Amino acid sequence: MKLTDNVLRSFRVAKVFRENSDKINCFDFSPNGETVISSSDDDSIVLYDCQEGKPKRTLYSKKYGVDLIRYTHAANTVVYSSNKIDDTIRYLSLHDNKYIRYFPGHSKRVVALSMSPVDDTFISGSLDKTIRLWDLRSPNCQVGLMHPQGKPVCSFDPEGLIFAAGVNSEMVKLYDLRSFDKGPFATFKMQYDRTCEWTGLKFSSDGKLVLISTNGGFIRLIDAFKGAVLHTFAGFNNTKAVTLEASFTPDSQFIMIGSEDGKIHVWNGETGMKVAVLDGKHTGPITCLQFNPRFMTFASACSNMAFWLPTIDD
C-alpha cells in the first residue's frame, strides 16, 4: 500500500493508551517497526508492541528522569538523557533494566540526541552550547565540543556519513564524521526569526531534505545540498511556544506536525500544499509525532499515546 493524499486523509486513531500521568516527552520506533518506546515527564519508560497494539512493559527512571529516548542497534537497548540531578546520558538494557554505561560530560540539559543509523556512534546537543560525538562502547566523548551560540539541534543523515547542526536558530552546518574536527564543510544561513527558536532538525530518509522544527507557528523544509528553503509550513496552533515534533513520512513525500489543539497537519513536501488535518482528540499539545518506519501506521502523543491506521486501501 502506497501513501497518497487520500490514504493520509483516511487515517484515524485506532487505539489510545493512558499509561502516563504527565506528558510524553519523546518516543522512538524500533528500526523493524515492531515496537515503540516512550519517555515521559512522569519518569517512566513504556514499551509498546505495535503489532499487537498494546503496552508490553513499564520501567522507571525516578532518580534521574528520562527524556529523548532512542533505540540503539543492539536489541533491547536504549540511550536517553536525564532531566533531573545531572545531565549524563544513560545507556540502558531493557532486558534486565540495568545500565550498561554512562556518558557524563554535558554541564547543562541535553536537548538533542541522535543515534547513527549505521553504527554505535551518537551525537548530543546541550544547553551548555556544545555538540558532542560519542561511541556506545566508551564513556568518554569521542570528539566534540563545538561551541555554537544558543540552543543546538543536531541529527545524522540516513547514511550516517554526515550530521547537521542547527546553530543559533539561523544556521545549518553540515559536518563530515570522518573530519568532524576540521569544522563544517557547508554552512547554510537562514533568515533569523526572533519570535521563535529552532527545536529540532531531521533528514528525510532519501537524504535530500532537512526539516527544521521551531517552537513557533511554522516549520521549514530545506534542500539538504544547497540549503535553499523549499517550503515554510504554517497554519497550525502553537501560541505557547511548545516544542512540537515534526516528521517526514518514510517515503520522504509528506511532512506532519501536531499542534497544541490536538490536531495533526500534513503537507505534501513537493508541492507545499496541505493535504490533511486529522483530529487526534488529544487532551493536550501533541508534543511527539512519528510515522512507523516499516508499517502503515503512525503514533502521536500528549500525555496519552495514540496509534493511527488508515481506513481505506488506495
Tens of pLDDT, residues 42-71: 999 999 999 999 999 999 988 888 889 999
In the predicted structure, residue 129 carries a pLDDT above the cut 90: no
Contact 70, 59 (CB under 8 A): no
* Model confidence at 148: pLDDT above 70: no
Find the mean pLDDT for residues 148-177.
89
CA dihedral sign of residues 95, 115, 157, 40:
positive
Q: For position 25, which CATH number holds?
A: 2.130.10.10
- Phi/psi for 225 (5° steps) reads -95, -40
pLDDT of residue 84: 82
What confidence score (pLDDT) does residue 145 get? Answer: 58
The residue segments making up the domain with residue 262 are 5-310
Q: Is the pLDDT of residue 147 over 70?
A: no
Per-range mean pLDDT, top range of 119-128, 147-156, 224-233:
224-233
Q: Per-residue pLDDT tens for 73-107?
A: 887 899 989 888 888 898 999 999 999 998 888 88
Cβ atoms of 215 and 236 within 8 Å: the answer is: no
**Does 113 score more than 80 pLDDT?**
yes
Count of domains for the chain: 1
Grid cell in block for residue 49: 508492541
Q: What is the pLDDT of residue 243?
A: 87
Residue 222 has pLDDT above 90, yes or no: yes
The secondary structure of 154-186 as a DSSP string is: EEE-TTSSEEEEEETTTEEEEEEGGGGGG--SE
User: Could you report the per-residue pLDDT of 255-310, keeping only the tens digit for each?
Assistant: 999 999 899 999 999 999 999 999 988 989 999 999 999 999 999 999 999 999 99
- Provide mean pLDDT across the span 217-228: 94
